[in-house]
Structure 1
């Protein structure tokens, strides 16, 4: 069988088999794909920091939360729609799924155009609001206008990969991310080092790679024939499906944005400490975006697992999956925390030159010491949240996001004036601990069992 044939037949039925085996076998391609995805940021950051200097790194880093907010509005909508797709798929309701996807892609395209226009128009005012230093503003505006103006590639990848994953295919998004990451590396080196395009080159390389990943996922969906033919989906607008998409997608999208908006506010506090702290914060975020992927991938697999099993109304199997996943993740995260702590300065030297950026490396090492041991908290929070999301109890995500954002702002605002940069470093794990309260309480209330779509 050809590689294409294997990809086209890679759907996994998560309603059968040992829960932990099924979840982790599905999560492994997700993890590798997410690592390739984050490689975009790592390569961009390493090349920008090493080739263009700490100021350029700080400028690009200051746009991260704004980009994330724009991307997550549409990406969160795709994640929410993935819940519906998983439950329809588990119940084998293919005709309803076809109509739903036609409406979803119509909404996605319209939303991409609107957010691109807003992102380009509001770039400079938002960066000024975040107190980015005047000498870094021009580079930040250049980078953000390119990535925001061409966010359609990211939106299409998130949408197509959400459909693939919710139907049991975690291999195709992996292949797409591997190809696009290699593309991004080549273009980064060419645009930044070869053509001397500066931060604009980094932005264009990332955008081009995102479009490549989207095209690969859409092509595989288009080729798939059984049991559901994606090629038969047509752009349309059905008011009932639109309401369902917004009911499931908006809470997830807003929850993601609430966390990011909290991050934007914290970024403003970080910026007030100057370029040394900004560079340290950016480097740690890039490292964290890689190390946290174990938690993200396994918990996302748990959401698909939950959705498919709720489509069959097998609640006992959902509970078994959560228990087994929590035990495994806690052990993994403890080992991960120790590894990050032991190698924190080596990791930071990938992005910052020890000879010229020693102060940023020192601050970043302190931050990584805190972040590494917060991964267990993140594992608990994300596992419970994704079970609730997969079950269809999506409003909890929004409430938890608001609570976490409020906690992060409160801790950063209260601790930074008293503890300096340590106040910012401590705000993240403390807000994650606060964010655990709502999903854990909701799960044990058993109300989520009544939220299944079917």
Structure 2
């Protein structure tokens, strides 16, 4: 029998009680879950570095930005749909929650089919346009094409996991993701050895992602019936579809725009030394892993804000955002000392390489970028908070700023500064983005009533 303390951990109440405790309990499973989600691709890199060679790492590195673009779109789309669901849950509208689930399934199917058709015809020309090294093009395509043609499994997991998070359950998706991540590592060894190429890693990733999505779906039908729609809930509601598509595509395009900038930046990186391409791949893996607490606090902030906005608790939102930013600051300072002593060893572990160009670039990238996590933390929390308020356009502006900045660096600065142009690019852009987002957030929070609302009547589904 599940104890009451475990219930509170599995379903932390974001609407009542201690804000710090609620945010931390909700973020912890997200944190571990995001680690394992990133380990899908990181595991590919580590295992490929051991079973194949540096050239295989170059192939993976040349298409990493495209992989991150797809993942960013999928995660953003799922989170956008879950924000609408979280608002309905906070307001205690169970029937509407079921209609949101039904509509989200339909929309996700259409988006999946569109992405599959688009990448089937346009993927290789894009890779050529991005200056993927000619001798690595076919191998890189063999990897990323498998991922894109089976993108439905990625979107399905993010949809179902997002709906569970919308009702306060970030723990169960974590359990399934841990299982599928372990499965991915096992399958990586099996399929890479069987195929003798990086394509085997892509096949392993798709199978493991399918398992995690399937397990989430089974759990929803068995234990989260508040989300299970009946046939009547699939009836078309134009206003609901408009809200879901607007919110889902807003967050998806935000992720896509951000990663499109990274894809454009990749074209400049691909024109540099091939060992810098591999070094950038490694540095980005370490950046992504150390950035997970910040990313997951942002995701938690969007759910926290959307639930409390649905319940009319503006002052609780204000406090929650401040607490989330404070936690990101603490995390950044905790990273400083280990980074100076462990970075080079970590790079060698991930790449299994001793190439001095690779090691030097990756280390410089990581140590220069780390202090700017102080800026990135506020940026991510505030942007997600704005999305939790249901804002669709204003958060997108920050993504457009990032895209414009990366285009500028790609065309004007990196050709002159080389690798240092790549290293300087994102930290400087983050500073500009934070100023814009902070201005928007302060204006929005002041425009809402700060009078505490009555406690909402919606009950935690775990109770």
**Which piece of structure 1 moves more, 178-187 or 321-330?**
321-330
Distance 1:359 1:117 in 2: 39
Distance 1:378 1:412 in 2: 21
Distance 2:323 2:9 in 1: 28
Question: CA offset at residue 249 of structure 1?
Answer: 1.6
Number of equivalent positions: 447
Q: Is the 8 A contact 1:7 1:171 kept in 2?
A: no
Question: CA offset at residue 282 of structure 1?
Answer: 0.6
Q: Is the 8 A contact 2:132 2:270 kept in 1?
A: yes
Structure-to-structure mapping, 1:92-171, within 5 angstroms? 92-171=92-171
**Which piece of structure 1 moves more, 403-412 or 315-324?**
403-412
Q: Does 1:16 align with 2:16?
A: yes
Distance 1:225 1:416 in 2: 50
Question: CA offset at residue 408 of structure 1?
Answer: 2.5
Q: Which residue of 2 aligns with 1:51?
A: 51
Distance 2:7 2:319 in 1: 29
Runs of 4 or more consecutive aligned structure 1 residues displaced over 6 Å after TM superposition: 6-9
Q: Deviations over 1:68-104 (max 9, x none)?
A: 3234334322211111111100011111121122111
Q: Deviations over 1:285-325 (max 9, x none)?
A: 11111110010111211111111111111111111111122
Q: Which residue of 2 aligns with 1:232?
A: 230
Distance 2:337 2:83 in 1: 34
Distance 1:143 1:423 in 2: 28
Q: Does 1:396 align with 2:394?
A: yes
- Partner of 1:189, secondary structure, is helix
Q: Which residue of 2 aligns with 1:439?
A: 437
Q: Is the 8 A contact 1:75 1:155 kept in 2?
A: yes
Q: Does 1:350 align with 2:349?
A: yes
Q: 1:229 to 1:296 in 2, by over 3 A?
A: closer
Question: CA offset at residue 9 of structure 1?
Answer: 9.7
Q: 1:43 to 1:7 in 2, by over 3 A?
A: farther
- Partner of 1:12, secondary structure, is coil
Question: CA offset at residue 447 of structure 1?
Answer: 6.0
**Which piece of structure 1 moves more, 68-77 or 391-400?**
68-77
Question: Normalization by structure 2: what TM-score?
Answer: 0.92
Unaligned runs of 5+ in 2: 450-455, 457-463
Q: Deviations over 1:90-129 (max 9, x none)?
A: 0111111211221111111121112112212222111100
- Partner of 1:168, secondary structure, is coil
Q: Is the 8 A contact 1:388 1:448 kept in 2?
A: no
Q: 1:177 to 1:213 in 2, by over 3 A?
A: same
Q: Is the 8 A contact 2:131 2:267 kept in 1?
A: yes
Unaligned runs of 5+ in 1: none
**Which piece of structure 1 moves more, 121-130 or 232-241?**
232-241
Question: Normalization by structure 1: what TM-score?
Answer: 0.93
Distance 1:402 1:45 in 2: 30
Distance 1:51 1:133 in 2: 22
Distance 2:185 2:353 in 1: 23
Distance 2:107 2:290 in 1: 33
Question: CA offset at residue 189 of structure 1?
Answer: 0.8
Q: Which residue of 2 aligns with 1:180?
A: 180
Q: Deviations over 1:331-351 (max 9, x none)?
A: 211222432233111111122
**Which piece of structure 1 moves more, 263-272 or 240-249?**
240-249
Distance 1:134 1:161 in 2: 39
Q: Is the 8 A contact 1:77 1:252 kept in 2?
A: yes
Distance 2:297 2:276 in 1: 32
| Alpha-carbon RMSD | 2.1
Question: CA offset at residue 235 of structure 1?
Answer: 4.8
Distance 1:49 1:326 in 2: 36
Structure-to-structure mapping, 1:245-264, within 5 angstroms? 245-264=244-263
- Partner of 1:349, secondary structure, is helix
Distance 2:359 2:165 in 1: 38
